[in-house]
Amino acid sequence: MSLDAKISKLLENWPAKVISLVVAIFIMFLYNLTRLDQRYITVPLNISEGRSYVPATEYPKTVRVAIRGDRNQIYRIRESDIVASIDLTRYGSEGVFRVPVKLERRGDASDIDPLELRADPAEIPISFERLSAKRVAISPTFKGFLEQGYELNSYEIVPPEIVIEGPTSLIASTKDISTDVIELSGKTGDFSLTVPLVKPSSLINLIDVTTVRFTAKIQKQERRITLDNVTIQVVNLDPSLTFSEVLPVGKMTLLPRQGQDPARATDAHLEADFKDIVRPGQYSIPLTPLPPEGFDVEAYDPLVITVRLRTAPSSSGSSGASSGAGLQGQGQSQGTTGQPGTR
């Protein structure tokens, strides 16, 4: 068959042949389309930061990636086969910029074709500020309570300070860096431990150290209550005698027992017993502390009072005692205090 005959036969009924070819391509396209599938994975976002200008707003640390391709192939892809990254090193001024997310194939994803990758979000808005640094104190964070009857006497943190760096506005507003939680529950003695530091923001970097050594000194709790103007009560004073001057007031230090109401400590007083004294004159009388029930006496003052007794007025046998009581009452407003002594 000649060439002209072949061409003539090829062009015979050409509209039908063209339509058949288009239909065949369309059917193949539909077939391939049905073989494509889509899945989503979440991958970490790698950051390349600059040294002069750094992010001043929080940004996502992961991105969602849509993977589209042959359904028999895309499910072979693992999270480690897709690398998402943003490059912050090229931003050299303050302001807000939309930073594109770059996706790279690795591992099994390198050999799959066709394969379409799409990041969500595709761009991340980030505010930039100039990098700043300063030294701040480290503060402990406590949780729980010591065993009943014990108290935290002192503690030490080594090192006590740390250098931090980050965006200028955030560094300026940061006054200290806290430790992770330090558990106090049930502690009755000294203890020491290494504690991680907690960044107030992921935008702040801790320089040199990320942990500190915490040492606590714990002691048994003693709740001392010091009372001034403690009344000196007179007992067994002969009715024929009275005081030549007002009585002083005393001072007392009490230790409340567990569960006692500290407000009851004001019921404490000192007692002066004048038993067997029947004549006027000058006497040194030892004092006895009388605390309320549930309180122990640590110290009191004075230990002894020196008083001068005189004969009471003869108008009434009981006036002397009344006079003595009146002088004692005045002593509460005019009394003096001294150094506490131990009984």
Q: What is the pLDDT of residue 318?
A: 42
Closest-CA residue to 251 (of 281, 224, 223, 275): 224
- Three-state SS across the chain? CCHHHHHHHHCCCHHHHHHHHHHHHHHHHHHHHHHEEEEEEEEEEEEECCCCEEECCCCCCEEEEEEEEEHHHHCCCCHHHEEEEEECCCCCCCEEEEEECEEEECHHHHHCCCEEEEEECCEEEEEEEEEEEEEEEEEEEEECCCCCCEEEEEEEEECCEEEEEEEHHHHHHCCEEEEEEEECCCCCCCEEEEEEEECCCCCCEEECCCEEEEEEEEEECCCCEEEEEECEEEECCCCCEEECCCCCCEEEEEEECCCCCHHHHHHCEEEEECCCCCCCEEEEEEEEEECCCCEEEEEEECCEEEEEEEECCCCCCCHHHHHHHHHHHHHHHHCCCCCCECC
Distances (CA, A) of 59 to 46, 84, 99, 124, 199: 12, 14, 11, 7, 16
Q: What is the pLDDT of residue 147?
A: 82
- Residue 30: other Cβ atoms inside 10 A: 10
Q: What is the pLDDT of residue 34?
A: 53
- List, in order of start, the domains of the chain with CATH numbers: 32-129 (2.170.120.30), 130-220 (2.170.120.40), 225-334 (2.170.120.30)
| CA 315 – CA 328 distance, rounded (Å) | 21
pLDDT in 10s for each residue of the chain, 343 residues? 566 666 666 666 667 666 767 766 766 665 555 557 888 999 999 999 888 999 999 999 999 999 988 888 888 889 999 999 999 998 999 999 999 999 999 988 888 888 889 999 999 999 999 999 999 999 999 998 888 778 888 999 999 999 999 999 999 999 999 999 999 998 989 999 999 999 999 999 999 999 999 999 998 766 788 899 999 999 999 999 999 999 999 999 988 876 778 888 889 999 999 998 999 999 999 999 999 988 888 899 999 999 999 998 875 444 433 334 334 433 333 333 333 333 3
Residue with the two structure tokens 């017993």: 273
For the question of whether the overall pTM of this predicted structure is more than 0.75, the answer is no
| CA 153 – CA 74 distance, rounded (Å) | 63
CB 39 within 8 A of CB 74: yes
CA end-to-end distance (rounded Å), the chain:
140
| CA 305 – CA 336 distance, rounded (Å) | 12
Sheet order of strands, 225-230 included: 225-230, 250-256, 295-301
Amino acid at the residue 335: G
- Residue 309: other Cβ atoms inside 10 A: 22
Closest-CA residue to 163 (of 152, 155, 174): 174
